[in-house]
Amino acid sequence: MPSRLAALPSGSGDTILTALAHPLAAQNLKTGALIHANLGTAALVEHALKKGEGKLTKHGALLVDTGRFTGRSVKDKYVVRDAETENSINWGPINQPMSEEHFANLKADFLKELEGQEELYVADLFGGSQPEYRVNVRVINQMAWHNLFIRTLLVRPTAEELADFVPEYTIINLPSFKANPERHGCRSDTVIAVSFTEKLILIGNTEYSGEMKKGVFGLLNYLLPAQGVMPMHCSANIGKDGKSAIFFGLSGTGKTTLSADASRTLIGDDEHGWSDTAVFNFEGGCYAKMINLSAEGEPEIYATTKMFGTILENVAMDEDTRELDFTDASKTENTRGAYPIESIPNTSEKNLGPAPSNVIMLTADAFGVLPPIARLTADQAMYYFLSGYTAKVAGTEIGVTEPEATFSTCFGAAFMPRHPSVYGNLLKERIAKGNVQCWLVNTGWTGGKYGTGSRMPIKATRALLNAVLDGDMDKVEFRKDPNFGFDVPVHVPVLAAAGIDQTILDPRSTWADVADYDATAKKLVQLFIDNFAQFEAHVDEGVRNAAPAPVAA
């Protein structure tokens, strides 16, 4: 049965409903559903409220609950293993294979489920802001708020671009679909399956919206290296001097916070490509952590929670006053907010900027060993990029008192379909080609490990980053770190101006027990060495020699 267009909802404001330039039937997608095609923000909020998918907060944001999944279902994600992917995917526990036969069964069952839907939401969007490298992505949703989310997070075409939009890749997201492990070759009744050959991503039995966003990220991570473009899990911004900086970092290291600086122009907070001519955002929106958010600590992000069109996931709210409680983690620590990038002041008009002058790798070292900032050579940058180190704080189990090291290759292992060396070598080439300065910044602990020391003052981190981005680090003296071999500044004048003692630059001197520091540093060095063993055969001698070495006893 041919698809039908929905009527324009009353009071939808910015929405002009148009037919799909390339109908679902042209993709062999049959459905009798009422199709809501490329609705705008106001209309999608109305639909979500009418269907009971969310509630309005006091200040007009849309609050939703993602059900039992409050994060990505990593163990339920698969890539179809076929002639296209056999030798190009880095197969393993992250990139799990699904057979062509199982995917054929899954696709058939998905399309049957699709055919029986009463209404669907379809958004035609771009993955990537640089026209030469973007991909046309069509997203088909059961839920209005899911469609609003992906419309917020990806790049929104103009009306003219929609008029002749032809999808290259399609995402079908059906939370109602339950997979059959035996028939579909998966682990549970939840499934995320990617076929690069069929250019199709199927998401079933999860309401967590981030699966769609990360699906597009994984797509671009696969496609762009073949075009010589470096895909990155990073934030990026531009200074008043017109120079760009990129910030790599895992969750909790400050990637979003530190890039949302009112004195700099934001390119994006999460996913970017680095081409010969630009750093470009994959997205048209931001997806920030909300836990413990405050107007004092992160004013730009906090302001978005009071804006119509922002989507808040799993944030606690007083039902009577509709006031939000960002400190409440009873549902999850992973409370999130999605908002258009233009909700942040001073953002890049085209979501791109010049190739970077500085690469900053953020780590939250809960061992309290790493200095607040260190300068890296190109070889060291590749070493720490492949390592992707941060540390989690000690858990709540009895007897668990030590921080836990986390190594996520390329600061985004879960989204990297190709072998890590592909991305590492691309980064090294780009750094050398652009004569880019590289830095490792510790936003974790100082004065001792977690439980003894204290969190690195954000004003110290900001002051040091400003010194880097303003060129002031070119004027300071550096020492060689005895354990890690990178260069550490001895004295940075801006710290004094921020009221920060210079001793913070030498972690060992901040510990009450230097013998304990030495033992902890030796342990962390060994963790790096053990983790990097998997990459040694794939990197050159310069990168192997960039490994840390413990100080001899």
List residues with catalytic annotation.
Answer: 72, 214, 233, 251, 255-256, 270, 336
Do the beta carbons of residue 269 and residue 237 sit within 8 Å? no
Max Cα–Cα distance, the chain, nearest Å: 77
Cα separation, 116 vs 429, in Å, equals 50
Read off the tokens for 372: 């607040």
37-57 per-residue burial string, b: 16 or more CB within 10 A, e: under 16: bbbbbbbbbbbbeeeebbbeb
Task: Name the E strands within 242-302.
Answer: 244-248, 265-268, 271-274, 279-281, 285-289
How are the residues of the chain apportioned to helix, strand and coil, as percentages rounded to the nearest 5? 30, 25, 45
Rg (CA), the chain: 24
Cα separation, 238 vs 245, in Å, equals 6
State how far the alpha carbon of 196 is from the alpha carbons of 79, 98, 201, 292, 532, in Å: 8, 12, 8, 39, 29
Residue located via tokens 């590289």? 438
Read off the tokens for 119: 């209404």
The residue count of the chain comes to 553
Read off the amino acid at residue 323. Answer: E
DSSP 456: P
Do the beta carbons of residue 234 and residue 272 sit within 8 Å? yes
DSSP structure string for 153-213: HSBPPPHHHHHT---SEEEEEETT----HHHHT-SSS-EEEEETTTTEEEEES---THHHH
Cα separation, 34 vs 222, in Å, equals 34
Between helices 210-223 and 144-153, what is the axis angle to 10°? 40
Read off the amino acid at residue 91. Answer: W
Cα separation, 164 vs 44, in Å, equals 23
Three-class secondary structure of residue 71 per DSSP? coil
Residues 196, 201, 204, CA angle at the centre, nearest 5°?
Answer: 150
